[in-house]
Chains A and B, each alone.
Chain A
Amino acid sequence: MAVLVKARTGILVLAALWLHFGAMAWLFPIAGDDWRVLVEPLSPTTHDALLTLLVRLPLTHVVLTPLVAIALVVGTCRLALGRPVDAVRDALPLAIASAAIWLSSARTGVDLAHRASAVADLYGTCGAVWLVVALQRSAPRWFALLALLAGLLVGATSREVGTVAAIGATLYASRRRDAVTSAAAIGLVIGAVLVWTAPPAARLDLLVERGATRYLHDVVFALRAPIVVACSVILAVLVQIARDLRPDLETTLAISGRSLAFAIAVAAVVELSPRPDAISMFPAGVAIAVAATAVIVRLAADRRVRQVAVAAVLLSHALIAWRSLHELAIAHGDAKKRLAVVRDTRPGEIARVPPLRRFRATPYLLGEDLHESELRDRVATMMFGVRGIAIEPLEYGVEPVPAIELRADADGPGDAIAKLPTWFSADLGTARDQLAEGFPTARAHGLRDVRLVARGMQLPARTGTPVLAAWLDGDRIERLAIDAYDAVPATRYEFGGARLCVPGTPDEVWAIALGVGTTERLARVDGEYVLPLVHGASFAIIACDSVRCALGRIVSFE
């Protein structure tokens, strides 16, 4: 019996991992960018298609994502060992690979179980790992087409994975010169180019804005979790040499060097993003996990190291499993409670939901994902038919529901006006979409004109001119969308307020303090308007030209 258990240990490890990953996937609520595919138009990318599948069919996520996670562990182990994994006998290498993946990323739990993060990080990294595994083998020429397709898919998963994999594959193909590798490299390059040209645009000028040293510091800081794992492994090697037990690490040199280069390159690309903190270093962590597994497995030839490794992987997995499931169970319960409140709210009203018990991000949780009114109130209207969602009591860093009320001011017969919505979302973009949705039917019934007016909002310089959140232009409902930076949830008001990018050339831009009614004309500085910081206040930003005054943004400060 003991022999049977020993022989099956590898299978048991994989089964335990699958159970853990499955429970996490089941418990992880729909959160953050998951909502976007439910309330915003889908872009024709594999990312959005896959994410929609995982969000709309919850069982798919519970079944598929854990399998991909297992595939990643096996792929990592495969690269580290340099040979196929024996699922029966390679229990320790599999457990080491799993522990290394967990410890090499600052938020592995989120990357493995949150739908949007899994699609962006887990699926893409897993694809890249197995593409590398596939390219290490010789394959018939007709495989080139498959390699091209696989390269395209992997290259298009994320900017960092696509770019670094494309560069690596191109270098490899120039050395190996065979059809399959070249096809994969071409696919990766095309995929990476597609990602670089897709919105949001990468901002290379950030490098100049931050300065070289701050950029490099940010790159290093972003890699803190992989660094901890890498340094621990180096220390283990040193201790072995100090014990006069020189490990045979020659076979790991190449994989260690490549993994290190891949990790640094991934971080260097990620830090070119306008919001690098929102992107995970998961692929860099997996690269270091490959090197760490390779070295530790060889060190584990020594009995002492093996005992320490077994104890460390058991302890780390036990702690991770307990903490992840405990936190996710709380998040699951909170999400259920919130959904019940929202569903019980009458249409057109504000749903008042309780705050999350775990509102800060952890390695296993996103924390409060609905801190921006733009997404939260859009979800409220589009998914649940309520005007907005108010979190009460409000958590720190969460935008309140904008204190505005919109009404349709229409010109046409009564039955045409009756076809328009009777209430509008607290989110300006969603309110415009509501009006645009009802407009064709109303138009068919003879509606002549319509505009969305912000009730009670007046500018002193333009008495009698209504402030419009949307209006009819030909047969289209239009609105003004103003971008804002450094408002909530920013905590560092480096610019002394919010910076506003107002499209077009308005004659003047105004801010009205909501709930107070005071108005202030904003100054234009270096092509942007600056709204001075007033703690705890919300402002309606209005741009006026000779034709109209348009409400383009609500800005809230903490």
Chain B
Amino acid sequence: MASWAVPQLDDWYEVAWIDRHGFGLASVVDLARYNFHNYNPRIGEVLLLVLNGPRILHCVITPALQLGLLVTCFVLAHGAWPRATARDLARLIGLQALIWLVIPIPGVIYFYRPYTANYLFATCLQLSLLALFRLALTRTDAPRRAWLAPITLAWGVLAGMGNEHTGPTAIVAAIAFAAWAWRWHRARAWMICGVIGLAIGFALLVLAPGQSVRYAGLTSGTHPFRTMLARGIDGNAKFLGDYLVEVAPGVALVLITGLCAVARRRETVAVLSRAIAIRIALAIAAAVGIVATMFASPIVEDRLFFAPCVVTAIALAMGASVAWEEPRARKALVAGSTAVVVINAIGFALTYREVAERTQDRIATFERTGTEAIASVAPASGWERDHWQFGEDLRYAYLRELLSHRVFDMRAIELAGAPAWSQPNPLETTHVSFDFDPPLFEPVSVLEPDPPTQWAWMVRELREVWTELSSLPGHELRAIDATVTPMVPLPGNRRIHLVTWHGGAFERIDAHTRSDPQGWPYAWADRRQVPIEPMEAWIEACGRAWPGELARTDREVRVSIRYQCAGNHTIYLCDASECWLAWRYW
């Protein structure tokens, strides 16, 4: 499966990085440093670069991680390493089936490298540290192993840098393990080091400068507590509901086989001892704790439910002990689990063979396309993300732009037939000018031609070349102005900014959408972050420009979203002297 892997969506950024910086320890460290300061500081992002390096690395590391997660879950569920017995093989199959039943989008998490690196790897790191605690606590005579202390410290730091939403729960779980060990006089130095490492790693992750600028600066200026309050009881409860929906198939499998076991032999219920019930309840509490942490997250998507769902699979594996005690129920559980594993394995193989073929064909097309030509490729048949695969990654205009300008050398990429679910290519052209002191008369070459048309990518590319920009001998960078030229000129012949930089800070309009009481969507931006006091709004689309409905509240600037045709609609906010590109919709 790993050998079939082809770049998809976020992989392309790593491919572009390797194209530009080469692949080696130095470029990996450079990326880690860049990410820490300017982008996603998670440890998984660094692994992602490695996985996009020589194929052999991906073929070795990824399967090892996938199996490592299974073994880790086994250890946490049963308090022992799996042995080479038929019973443990069946338990491993049962556990793998439970994992694939309860996690969201298993095909994407396991075989789309950005998610594998950011979620599967990160969860594996954190759970494996906790598995060490679990193994130690099952023995009353666990050796001291002082040499383990620096290892768990480093391990903890890496694990703490895994995911923002899992860190707090992992720290609490590790503290709980250590406290329990202390209570029963089994505490070891490496346990304390593991806890400290986790806390340091988590602190590094959340306090990294990159956090305030990644996700297009979405996290900046919004306190997590305010995010949680803004969602309200209903909004946050929905995440709990989503989590329960994800784990429901696994719960149903364990519940039905358990009920069958008890119905056939009443005494099997005694297997669910107080100790197991406590462990299950604690695992569920940990899973719910992770979900609760997501209440404060600015973006909550299905992939974030991976960690709580894996923890729930561990709880379910413990709960399956009831079915395990009755022969018929055990057979049903093993048969059902085997079916789940086989169906998924075959499905993944078929799906990713097709994805690989499609992507290889596309790459061949892109390589054949000339510099000034537009490559047109057929859209994927299943364009939506589902159980098996990511779907059509070229539906995003920014990715097509990245591929055509930064990875391959062509004018643009289009999806044949311009499907309505895909954003059309923006028609504006972008220009970037740099103001140096003393002025620089030679054009600056560090930024490549065809600057991005979306501000988030413009900022990202500028940050990437920041060292070159700020270290031109004898010249000091004073300001940057990225402007756009729309297809249809706006009245007043005003300069239209996309991004500016001066006084050490970037300026842009970071707009979002929501609906008014009648359900009509509108774009809005925080007034404090809008560089001008807008007096008018313009919408450009369908070969013309017309005034948009602009409204202002104490905190926000709003522009109604209305459609005139099927293409891109671009919203501009203007005052008397200048305009800013605020939002695109289609």
Contacts and interface: CB of A to CB of B under 8 A. Distances in A.
Do chains A and B stick together as partners? yes
Interface of A: 211, 213-214, 216-217, 220-221, 223-225, 227-228, 230-231, 234-235, 238-239, 241-242, 244, 250, 253-254, 256-257, 260, 264, 355, 357, 359-360, 393-397, 492-497, 532-536, 557-558
A5 B386 CA distance: 56
A393 B563 contact: no
B520 interface: yes
B277 interface: yes
Contacts of B347: 213
Nearest to B107: A213
Interface of B: 240-241, 244-245, 247-249, 251-252, 255-256, 259-260, 262-263, 266, 272-274, 277-278, 280-281, 284, 347, 386-388, 417-421, 515, 517-521, 562-566
Contact of A223 (B248, B255, B386): B248
A118 B430 CA distance: 58
A238 B273 CA distance: 10
A357 B266 CA distance: 55
B243 to A, nearest CB: 10
Contacts of B388: 213
B32 to A, nearest CB: 37
Contacts of A244: 274
B274 A241 contact: yes
Nearest to A356: B518
Nearest to A397: B519
Given A224-B244, A238-B280, A396-B518, A213 B420 contact: no
A242 B563 contact: no
A129 B347 CA distance: 40
Contacts of B518: 355, 359, 393-396
A397 B244 CA distance: 30
A296 to B, nearest CB: 16
22 contacts: A213-B386, A220-B248, A228-B240, A230-B251, A231-B247, A231-B248, A231-B251, A234-B251, A241-B274, A242-B281, A244-B274, A253-B259, A254-B263, A256-B259, A257-B256, A257-B263, A260-B256, A357-B517, A359-B519, A492-B421, A494-B420, A533-B420
B387 A264 contact: no
B277 A238 contact: yes
Contact of B563 (A235, A494, A535): A535
Contact of B387 (A214, A256, A534): A214
Nearest to A224: B245
Given A213-B388, A231-B251, A242-B274, A395 B519 contact: yes
Given A241-B272, A242-B274, A536-B564, 7 more contacts: A227-B241, A257-B256, A260-B255, A496-B419, A496-B420, A533-B420, A534-B565
Contacts of B248: 220, 223, 227, 231
A228 to B, nearest CB: 5
Contacts of B420: 493-497, 533
Q: Across chains A and B, which 4 residue pairs bring their CB atoms closest together, nearest first?
A: A535-B563, A396-B519, A241-B277, A213-B387
Given A257-B263, A536-B562, A231 B280 contact: no
A420 to B, nearest CB: 39
Contacts of A357: 517
Contacts of B256: 257, 260
A253 B245 contact: no
A396 B521 contact: yes
B386 A242 contact: no
A360 B263 CA distance: 45
Given A238-B281, A253-B259, A257-B259, A220 B419 contact: no
A532 B273 CA distance: 62
B249 A220 contact: yes
B386 A214 contact: yes
B167 to A, nearest CB: 25
A494 B241 contact: no
A142 to B, nearest CB: 35
A220 B347 CA distance: 20
B286 to A, nearest CB: 13
Contacts, number: 110
A393 B518 CA distance: 8
Between B252, B347, B417, the greatest number of chain A beta carbons within 10 A of the residue's beta carbon is seen for B252
A227 B244 contact: yes
A179 to B, nearest CB: 29
B255 A534 contact: no
A491 to B, nearest CB: 10
Nearest to B266: A250
A223 B244 CA distance: 10
A494 B382 CA distance: 11
B203 to A, nearest CB: 32
Contacts of B272: 241
Contacts of A557: 563
Nearest to A244: B274
Contacts of B515: 396
Contacts of B262: 250, 253
A254 B263 CA distance: 8
Contacts of B251: 227, 230-231, 234
Given A242-B278, A396-B520, A228 B244 contact: yes
A211 B350 CA distance: 14
Contacts of B520: 395-396
Nearest to A237: B277
Contacts of B274: 241-242, 244
B29 to A, nearest CB: 41
B109 to A, nearest CB: 14
Contacts of A221: 245
B244 A360 contact: no
Contact of B277 (A217, A225, A242, A394): A242
A522 to B, nearest CB: 15
Contacts of B244: 224, 227-228, 231
Contacts of A224: 241, 244-245
B519 A360 contact: yes
B563 A496 contact: no
B421 A493 contact: yes
A492 B274 CA distance: 50
Nearest to B273: A241
A231 B347 CA distance: 29
Nearest to B315: A238
Contacts of A242: 274, 277-278, 281
A228 B241 contact: yes
A480 B245 CA distance: 44
A257 to B, nearest CB: 5
A525 to B, nearest CB: 11
B423 to A, nearest CB: 13
Contact of B421 (A257, A397, A494, A534): A494
Given A238-B280, A359-B519, A494-B420, A260 B252 contact: yes
A346 B125 CA distance: 73
Nearest to B104: A217
Nearest to B275: A242
Contact of A532 (B252, B386, B517, B566): B566
A247 B421 CA distance: 53
A259 B35 CA distance: 52
Nearest to A232: B244
Contacts of A213: 347, 386-388
A271 to B, nearest CB: 14
A393 B517 CA distance: 11
Contacts of A214: 386-387
Contacts of A558: 563
A103 B309 CA distance: 23
Nearest to B262: A253
B387 A217 contact: yes
Nearest to B515: A396
A354 B249 CA distance: 45
B292 to A, nearest CB: 15
A359 B564 CA distance: 24
A532 B419 CA distance: 10
A355 B387 CA distance: 39
A228 B251 CA distance: 12
B284 A235 contact: yes
